[in-house]
Every structure is written in C-alpha cells, then in structure tokens.
A and B are shown apart, each in its own frame.
Chain A
C-alpha cells in the first residue's frame, strides 16, 4: 500500500470513526432524552469543560508557528479577546480582533 493510501486509511480509522461515533450515539441515545434531565446537564458540563481544555491545550502546548510566540503573549491575547468581548457589546468579532491584535503585537515585540 502506498504512503498516500495509508494516510487516507489512518484518516478514516484514527480521525473519522473515533469522532463520528459520538454523533451516531447522539442519535441513538438522544431518542426521547429530556434536555433538562440531570444526566444531560452533567454531560453538558463535562463536554463544555472538555472544549475549554482544548483551548487551554492549544494555548499551553501550541501547534506549529504558534509555539514561537511566548506563553505570556498567548495568555494576554486570550484575556484581551475575552475582555473585548465583555466590554464591546458582547461581540465575538471584537473579541477575535482584539485577541489577534494583541497576539501579533506581542509576537512582534517579544518574539524571536
């Protein structure tokens, strides 16, 4: 098998199936599920915290070029984005722009 074929096989086995299985289970288990039931509230809390964990992971263990930006700049950018969101009419756009601006400015000032 060629390396190209192998990379597609890995994509399906290691990427697609482990991710997609939760969508299928959502259909099966979701049948007649009460959205306000206690177990659903708990699972929602776990899922939300897991997503926050992904954010923390990318900020603390960054991929590729992001690793060249100092950790303090990455943290400051995240905080600036959130503060901009809070104070500028809860605008996600303002938050993203502020976070990115701080990241780029910080990378240029303190980067390698």
Chain B
C-alpha cells in the first residue's frame, strides 16, 4: 500500500466540525426541523411515550417520516406492520448514502470513519451536504458533514423536547399547524432539490399514486406507491433520453 496523505490535525478537524454546526444552524432546514419535531414531540406526548423515549427515538432513527409512522401507529398496528412501514419509508437512505459516499470517500478515509456520517444522513443533512461538500477540500468533508448532521439533529432533539413539554398547553389548531410542518418540509426540500425531470416527475406521480394505492386497501401502500410511481417516472425519463438520442 502506498503511503496515504497526512490527515488534518485534530484541532483543524474540530474547527471544521464547528463550521458544519454553524452551517446547520444557518440552514432553512434547521428551523423547519425544529418546528416539525416540536409537532412530533407533542404527538409522542399525546400517544403516551416518555420524554426520554422521544429523544432516543430521534437520536437512533433520525428520519422524520419513519418516526411519524412509529409514533402514530405503534399503539394500534401490529409490530410487524409498523416495522415494515418504517423500513419502506427509510428505503430512500440506500440511494442517498450511495450518492453521497463518493463525495466523502478518498484514500485515507477508513470505513469506520464513514459510520457516523452515514448515521446522521437524513433528507435535510443530505441536501445541504450535496450542496456544500463539493465546494470544499476533500479532507474536510467528513468532519464538516458530521457537524452539519450533529447540528441539525440537536435542533430536532431540542424541538422534540420543547413540543413534548408544550403538548399539554398547545391549542388544537397550533398542534395541527405543527404536525403539518412534516409534509410541508418534505415537499419544500424535494421541490428545492429536484433538478431533473426524473426527480420532479417521481414526486408528482407519488403524490397522485399514493392516495389511489391507499384507497385499494391492498396494504404495503408506501412500497407500491414508490414502485409504481417511481417506475413510471423512470420510464418517461428513458423514453425522453431515447428521443433526444435520435435527434442528435
């Protein structure tokens, strides 16, 4: 093995980590996340989970849709059904992690150095990471991304705690508004991040196909929505590529 390039000294890595936290707090996602998790904390309180459970839920799962599913269905659905819905809602992490890994991987980065960046990967962190990481030197990216993730996750944990405490006093209209942060935040982050026909069309078709699939009551709604709408969007993308190829 050839000698790997020298690592940044620890104090530089820590400075970059703090830069990541600053970038997290300056991101629009930070405020949307806090609002979203205030609503979710309130929901956890309503359903009867403990304060510590809600905090650990965010720390361990760190995926708003999966947490919403877990908190809102755990008391009514079978454990297997809940686990299936959670795993389907988090399937997106596979392509997201696969897409951001090449940005961080370079000689000298060990596999275990990538475990924390992968765990803090969520839609918000991923979108900001894909935008900001290519702008900086490769050796700073892992520390910066960790800071970004820890910063956003801290906001979410604090927001969840605030919502949990507020829950008893929150008027129903405000509680509804806070719960509505989740779909609004996902819609905005997806719209902001969709640069190709495939992204936009997949999302639009998913919005339409989702309720249709749910109305059929065949179960596994999210999986079928993803497969049907995603494949339709991919087919349109392929047809358009083929037509474009013929013209040139």
Chain A residues within CB distance 8 Å of chain B: 4, 7-8, 10-16, 18-27, 29-31, 33, 35, 40-66, 68-69, 74, 77-78, 81-82, 85, 90, 92-93, 95-96, 99-100, 103-104, 107-108, 111
Which listed residue, B47, B96, B172, touches A47 by the CB 8 Å rule?
Answer: B96
By a CB distance below 8 angstroms, the chain A residues around B61 are: 11, 15-16, 19-20
Closest partner residue, chain A, to B84 (CB atom): A18
Instruction: Report if B146 contacts A (CB, 8 A).
Output: no
Q: Is the interface of A mostly helix, strand, loop or mixed?
A: helix
Q: Is the interface of B mostly helix, strand, loop or mixed?
A: helix
CA distance in complex: A56, B211 (Å): 6
* Chain A proximity mask over B180-216: 1 for CB below 8 Å, otherwise 0: 1111111111111010001101111111011101100
Asked if A51 contacts B87 (CB within 8 A), the reply is no
Chain B residues within CB distance 8 Å of chain A: 28, 32, 42-43, 46-47, 49-50, 53, 56-57, 60-61, 63, 65-68, 70-72, 74, 79, 82-84, 86-99, 101-102, 111, 114-115, 118-119, 121, 123, 170, 172-177, 179-192, 194, 198-199, 201-207, 209-211, 213-214, 221-223, 225-231, 233-234, 237
Closest partner residue, chain B, to A92 (CB atom): B188
CA distance in complex: A104, B57 (Å): 28
Which listed residue, B63, B89, B184, B211, touches A60 by the CB 8 Å rule?
Answer: B211
Closest partner residue, chain B, to A33 (CB atom): B98
By a CB distance below 8 angstroms, the chain A residues around B234 are: 41-42, 45-46
By a CB distance below 8 angstroms, the chain A residues around B72 are: 63-64
Known A-B contacts: A21-B87, A55-B206, A90-B192. Give 13 more (CB < 8 A): A19-B93, A26-B96, A29-B98, A35-B98, A43-B95, A44-B99, A49-B203, A49-B225, A49-B226, A49-B233, A51-B92, A53-B226, A99-B180
